[in-house]
């Protein structure tokens, strides 16, 4: 027995899909669960209003909310973006706070306003679970001169692909959550769960002020939160949905080799002193071999072995290596101070008259979730309902440090529920989200609300 593929929303009605899934699972909904008719109404509404949802995404993409370039014009765009999102949430009946995040101090002594962080809440029924969604509305820089075929801030649809900066990272997923909530509101149906939003505008620039706010609001805004969901990563396939249950963290190091404070003339000094660039190339060349294996002695002693359970999970993943290779790049992970120890050893063997310094500029911890938590079970069921398949259970190379911050600070379950396909090209010149992923993702979040209500 097969199931309808893209674009099934236009070929297969929600009722026929539900009938198929009920037949497949022998009855998906228990008598105490919300009626099948409600889910069908929700799916039909989303299908009928998908052009409106795409239009809103177009309006959001048009805002050049670049947090990376420290320019006042762009910072004003960021402030406008946060106001747009806050207004949309207020129109749904949410209580919205725009928390002042102060100013960003720049190296040249200037300061720029940091966009406020949105804390929003809909519903406070103690009988319902409270699900908190995190997302961000800032984007990476983008211009036609970078190699974009279309204007990156004009949403352009080609063959079902919605091109534009921020479509998949992260404006599309944020809107998909809002679409799910707005659908229940439009149908005059009670939300199955209490929903909270944490939406920031500085994720691409290091999430300034966010960790401080999370710590400050532990006993306030977050005190009633049961589950936290992040939708800021991608599937490993173009076809099969994924649930992410771990990220690897990362470490960034700066290596500097210095001869003196001013340049030498190559005609006068070339060949009679140690060239810093040659030292630096040798040092960097000693870190990995041509197959990508890290050469630092003892580095792999810190890597946890893959368990048999993990192996079984990974074997089921729908991963096309060629497809993945064409659409993403893998970064290497370096631990602790062994980078430095190894480079000190290599540099000492060169007998160079130069000085070398190694500094760690960023260190972010890995994150692992408990996939037996209720929200992972609810998400699996929602994915089966919407997409007719089991999700790939993946661990991601992205860091997304807020996941570990939430988990450590609030001590509640954190889950990553991505919407984007592997070829969405976040941060690239062809960033897009498929209309199918965006619309079915809105359905997915609505189905997730209903499944969480049943399991709580």
Cα of 256 vs its chain's centroid, Å: 32
Catalytic entry in 64, 66, 77, 138: 138
Catalytic entry in 64, 77, 203, 426: 203
The neighbouring-strand residues paired with 396 are 247
In the DSSP assignment, the letter for residue 66 is: B
The CA distance from 131 to 134, in Å, is: 10
Specify the residue for token string 């960097």: 284
Given a contact cutoff of 8 angstroms between Cβ atoms, the answer to whether 180 and 445 are in contact is: yes
In the DSSP assignment, the letter for residue 31 is: T
Residue 440 bears catalytic tag: no
In the DSSP assignment, the letter for residue 300 is: G
Is it true that the peptide bond before 170 is cis, omega within 30 degrees of 0?
A: yes
The CA distance from 225 to 211, in Å, is: 17
CB within 8 A of 70, min separation 6: which ones? 104, 106, 110, 112
Given a contact cutoff of 8 angstroms between Cβ atoms, the answer to whether 150 and 163 are in contact is: yes
Given a contact cutoff of 8 angstroms between Cβ atoms, the answer to whether 191 and 449 are in contact is: yes
Given a contact cutoff of 8 angstroms between Cβ atoms, the answer to whether 116 and 198 are in contact is: no
The CA distance from 324 to 75, in Å, is: 34
Specify the residue for token string 């809909």: 122
Given a contact cutoff of 8 angstroms between Cβ atoms, the answer to whether 374 and 435 are in contact is: no
The CA distance from 36 to 198, in Å, is: 30
The CA distance from 61 to 46, in Å, is: 20
The neighbouring-strand residues paired with 244 are 394, 416
Return the H-helix or E-strand segment holding 51: helix 50-61
Residue 203 bears catalytic tag: yes
- The length of the chain, given as a count of residues: 456
Given a contact cutoff of 8 angstroms between Cβ atoms, the answer to whether 168 and 148 are in contact is: no
Q: Which residues are catalytic?
A: 138, 203
């Amino acid at each position: 027995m097969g199931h309808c593929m893209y674009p099934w929303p236009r070929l297969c009605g929600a009722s026929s899909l539900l009938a198929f899934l009920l037949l497949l699972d022998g009855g998906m909904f228990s008598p105490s669960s919300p009626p099948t008719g409600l889910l069908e109404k929700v799916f039909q509404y989303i299908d009928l209003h998908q052009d409106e949802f795409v239009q809103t995404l177009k309006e959001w993409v048009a805002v050049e909310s670049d947090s990376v370039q420290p320019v006042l014009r762009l910072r004003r765009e960021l402030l406008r973006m946060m106001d747009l999102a806050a207004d949309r949430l207020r129109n749904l009946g949410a209580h919205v706070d725009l928390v002042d995040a102060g100013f960003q101090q720049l190296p040249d002594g200037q300061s720029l306003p940091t966009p406020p962080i949105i804390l929003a809440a809909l519903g406070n029924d103690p009988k319902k679970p409270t699900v908190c969604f995190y997302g961000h509305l800032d984007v990476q820089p983008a211009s036609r001169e970078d190699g974009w075929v279309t204007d990156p801030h004009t949403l352009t649809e080609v063959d079902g692909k919605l091109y534009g900066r921020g479509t998949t990272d992260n404006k599309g997923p944020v809107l998909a959550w809002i679409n799910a909530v707005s659908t229940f509101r439009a149908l005059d149906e009670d939300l199955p769960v209490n929903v909270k939003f944490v939406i920031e505008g500085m994720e691409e620039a290091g999430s300034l002020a966010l960790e401080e706010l999370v710590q400050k609001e532990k006993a306030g805004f977050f005190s009633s939160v049961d589950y936290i969901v992040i939708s800021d990563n991608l599937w490993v396939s173009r076809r099969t949905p994924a649930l992410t249950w771990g990220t690897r963290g990362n470490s960034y190091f700066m290596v500097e080799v210095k001869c003196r404070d001013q340049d030498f003339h190559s005609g006068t000094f070339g060949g009679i002193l140690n060239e810093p660039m040659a030292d630096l190339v040798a040092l960097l060349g000693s870190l990995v071999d041509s197959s990508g294996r890290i050469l630092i002695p003892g580095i792999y002693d810190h890597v946890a072995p893959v368990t048999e359970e993990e192996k079984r999970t990974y074997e089921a993943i729908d991963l096309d290596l060629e497809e993945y290779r064409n659409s993403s790049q893998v970064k290497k992970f370096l631990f602790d101070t062994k980078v430095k120890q190894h480079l000190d050893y290599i540099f000492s063997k060169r007998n160079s008259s130069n000085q070398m310094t190694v500094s760690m500029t960023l260190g972010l911890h890995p994150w692992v979730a408990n996939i037996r938590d209720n929200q992972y079970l609810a998400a699996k069921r929602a994915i089966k309902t919407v997409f007719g398949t089991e999700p790939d259970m993946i661990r991601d190379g992205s860091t997304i440090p807020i996941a570990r911050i939430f988990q450590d600070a609030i001590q509640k379950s954190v889950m990553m529920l991505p919407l984007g396909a592997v070829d969405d090209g976040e941060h690239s010149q062809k960033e897009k989200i498929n209309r199918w992923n965006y619309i079915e993702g809105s359905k997915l979040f609505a189905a997730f609300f209903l499944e969480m209500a049943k399991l709580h």
